[in-house]
Chains A and B, each alone.
Chain A
Amino acid sequence: MSDKPEKTEKTDKSERTERLSVFKTYKLYVGGKFPRSESGRVYEVTDAKGKWLANAPQSSRKDARDAVVAARKAFGAWSGATAYNRGQILYRIAEMLEGRRDQYVREVGEAEGLSRSKAAAQVDAAIDRWVWYAGWTDKIAQVVGGGNPVAGPFFNLSSPEPTGVVAVLAPQESSFLGLVSVVAPVVATGNTAVVIASEKAPLPALSLGEVLATSDLPGGVVNILSGRTAEIAAPLAAHQDVNAIDLAGADEVLAKELEIAAADNLKRVLRPQPVDDWTAAPGTERMTAFLETKTVWHPTGSLGASGSSY
């Protein structure tokens, strides 16, 4: 594709009118589809200088509940997929992002008021982060699981398993790298996620849905909502079919409120932690926060003339 007009049209510069660009309607990403908010509401999203960028969907409680249904429906197949398969898909997301790098550099630059080179650094780090977690899918069990030498004739093995549906409040400041840094570890291990995008800078997150939809990621594994964080988070924190919640994007007051609501069904809660630099290498904590440990016992029996004793 070329931006240059064909030579024949170039006869008179004054006659040329600048081509009017086509705006994108930003939509939610739920269950692999791109719905508008069921409420019909939108809110104005501006760049760092206050210039209008788009009208983003303002999700309702019902949108949040629909997203949980989609995430739950996707959980069985996603958590049951081989770790290798999940790794391949996460790597595919990195490949797809790399191909649309320029788009995200622009969106992140506008959203966060960053220079082109600083925005590019954020996007590159986000792409590499998918690669990092792609590599973790089939290794985390070898790092946090293992055989246990119990004092008896038993085979005893502990393995990590995903906890289920995780509600994720994406960081408010880092609209893309921060978002990827909290979503990727949740789904790498087999959880499914309902993600609330940065309230004031939701556009990079909503665009991520377009990449996820074309990366072999099954619909419903990641669901992305935009709107007022507090409004969407409340029903998620209280939802009985949500297993865990990452409060990265909540302030202190909201975090406490949500943690109290989450106690109702004993959700696993990851409290907001100060992150100065999202480009720093992550550890394993964001994965282990949303893992259960399952330990399996089996008698080893004993040999004897009559065979095993059990």
Chain B
Amino acid sequence: MAPVFDYAPAPESRSVVDIAPSYGLFIDGEFTEAAGGKVFKTVSPSSEEVLSEVAEASEEDVDRAVRAARKAFEKWSALPGSERAKYLFRIARIIQERSRELAVLETLDNGKPIRETRDADLPLVAAHFFYYAGWADKLEHAGYGANPRPLGVAGQVIPWNFPLLMLAWKIAPALATGNTVVLKPAETTPLSALFFADICRQAGLPKGVVNIVTGDGRAGAALVAHPDVNKVAFTGSTAVGKEIARTVAGTRKKLTLELGGKGANIVFDDAPIDQAVEGIVNGIFFNQGQVCCAGSRLLVQESIHDELLDSLKRRLSTLRLGDPLDKNTDIGAINSAEQLARITALAEQGEAEGAERWSPACELPESGYWFAPTLFTNVTQAHTIARDEIFGPVLSVLTFRTPDEAVAKANNTPYGLSAGIWTEKGSRILAVAIKLRAGVIWSNTFNKFDPTSPFGGYKESGFGREGGRHGLEAYLDV
């Protein structure tokens, strides 16, 4: 199909963000070099341009950060909630003020489209701080007893798919409840966390309340294993989540895990097709499918399979892949060469196992890490691409005949994070939702997030909830 419109390039200006050539660790309110002086480079996934050099934290640095957090804990936890609230409100406001800068930064370091960082990530980040700021002086109303206490020092390890949003999900509730934190951002996306350190400085946050240690998995492992950490919060892969669960076994550390998913997006024959197609696209191609709650398994009622697939393919042909800073871009870059290799390998396995692969005509840029939107039909439940989390823009399409079959197939996974239901019938939505073993069910919509709404998984998608009143529990001694 020939495109109806040609789009002129509409790049967002990079001049709004000023990236320093190097960054240290943020410990006890100061940027410092790593003890061993080691650094690593962070690149822009869309161009492979080196953006900055970042300190690589050693075990010694992690220890220093935990000590700083411990030292800060006494005063921070003793502050009246209303004063902690005001610090968090300040942070929320500064994030709002600097949101364009942070959106451009995030797009540069992560590779996701500016449309998403500007319209989804950053507004949600600010809203999350705003929401938990309000809880800081209302904890006795949250249903955890008259005087719920913080845990102490929280060690938090976050992924690269929503760097600043995951930071907000971790730091906002931790600080609101009176904990201090040591946060390790992902190796490939450290910059927005380091900019956040500067926001803490602007907000006048006491030293040591927030510490940022950059590095790879070893720094994360050291943080999780540190004996003076009281709380571990991790978002990332199920494999690493299990490793962390083993590490904290036998300790008194409180643990919450937000892990992988293989979300089913179930479309019944009475669903409004156009809306469902938009929801399916949003479900698996938002953030290049690098979303733990992605709707990566499409379950279509057999009677509408062909009609839906026609519409879906037509819609995929209009998606625009390219420069993430371009305001018209729908699909940005894959975050890293490593992730691209994993997606590529799984897609090849899908073909090898007999599923039918399809992608729209799509020109990939020459430099950077790119993967065309892809869907597989003729997928069975035994196929690897129907079982393993791909974490990329790859949709596996399966069919069903009855609601019972849809539920059985949707639940046929070790994961249980999200699911979608598309039907005009309210009672069917609720009947199916009740049967699904997943923590978040979207009906006639997908990938909706709100700071007031708890998020988290069943089964091997982890435990604990982030967001809402429920999200406080992870950081309270209850």
| Contact yes or no, A308 B403, CB < 8 A | yes
Q: Assuming A301-B431, A307-B402, is B82 touching A139 (CB within 8 A)?
A: no
Is B131 an interface residue when CB atoms closer than 8 A count as contact? yes
| Mask of A85-109 contacts with B, CB within 8 angstroms, 1/0 | 0011001000000000000000000
| Contact yes or no, A304 B141, CB < 8 A | no
| Contact yes or no, A303 B141, CB < 8 A | no
**Closest chain A residue to B401 by CB distance?**
A305
Is B434 an interface residue when CB atoms closer than 8 A count as contact? yes
**Residue among B135, B137, B425, B469 making CB contact with A308, cutoff 8 Å:** B425
Is A218 an interface residue when CB atoms closer than 8 A count as contact? no
Q: Assuming A91-B89, A142-B469, A310-B427, is B138 touching A305 (CB within 8 A)?
A: no
Complex contacts, A307 vs chain B, CB 8 Å? 402-403, 428
| Contact yes or no, A135 B85, CB < 8 A | yes
| Mask of B12-29 contacts with A, CB within 8 angstroms, 1/0 | 000000000000000000
- Least CB distance, A74 to chain B, in whole angstroms: 23
Which one, A34-42, A113-121, A126-134, A162-170, is touching chain B?
A: A126-134
- Least CB distance, B88 to chain A, in whole angstroms: 10
Q: How many A-B residue pairs have CB under 8 A?
A: 93
Complex contacts, B130 vs chain A, CB 8 Å? 84, 87-88, 91
Complex contacts, A310 vs chain B, CB 8 Å? 427
| Contact yes or no, A87 B134, CB < 8 A | yes
| Contact yes or no, A134 B425, CB < 8 A | no
| Mask of A266-310 contacts with B, CB within 8 angstroms, 1/0 | 000000000000000100100000000000001111111111111
| Mask of A143-164 contacts with B, CB within 8 angstroms, 1/0 | 1000000000001000000000
Residue among A83, A298, A307 with max Cβ neighbours from chain B (10 Å)? A307
Is B294 an interface residue when CB atoms closer than 8 A count as contact? no
Is B143 an interface residue when CB atoms closer than 8 A count as contact? yes
What 12 new A-B contacts, CB under 8 Å, besides A88-B130, A308-B427? A84-B127, A91-B89, A131-B82, A131-B85, A132-B82, A135-B85, A135-B133, A135-B136, A135-B137, A139-B131, A308-B431, A310-B427
B residues contacting A by CB (< 8 A) are 82, 85-86, 89, 127, 130-131, 133-138, 141-143, 402-404, 407, 425-428, 430-432, 434-435, 451-452, 468-469
A-B contact pairs, 28 of them (CB 8 A): A83-B452, A84-B451, A87-B134, A88-B130, A91-B89, A131-B85, A134-B89, A135-B85, A136-B138, A138-B131, A139-B134, A142-B452, A142-B469, A143-B141, A143-B142, A155-B430, A298-B427, A299-B426, A299-B427, A300-B434, A301-B425, A303-B403, A303-B435, A307-B402, A307-B403, A307-B428, A308-B425, A308-B428
A residues contacting B by CB (< 8 A) are 83-84, 87-88, 91, 128, 131-132, 134-139, 142-143, 155, 281, 284, 298-310
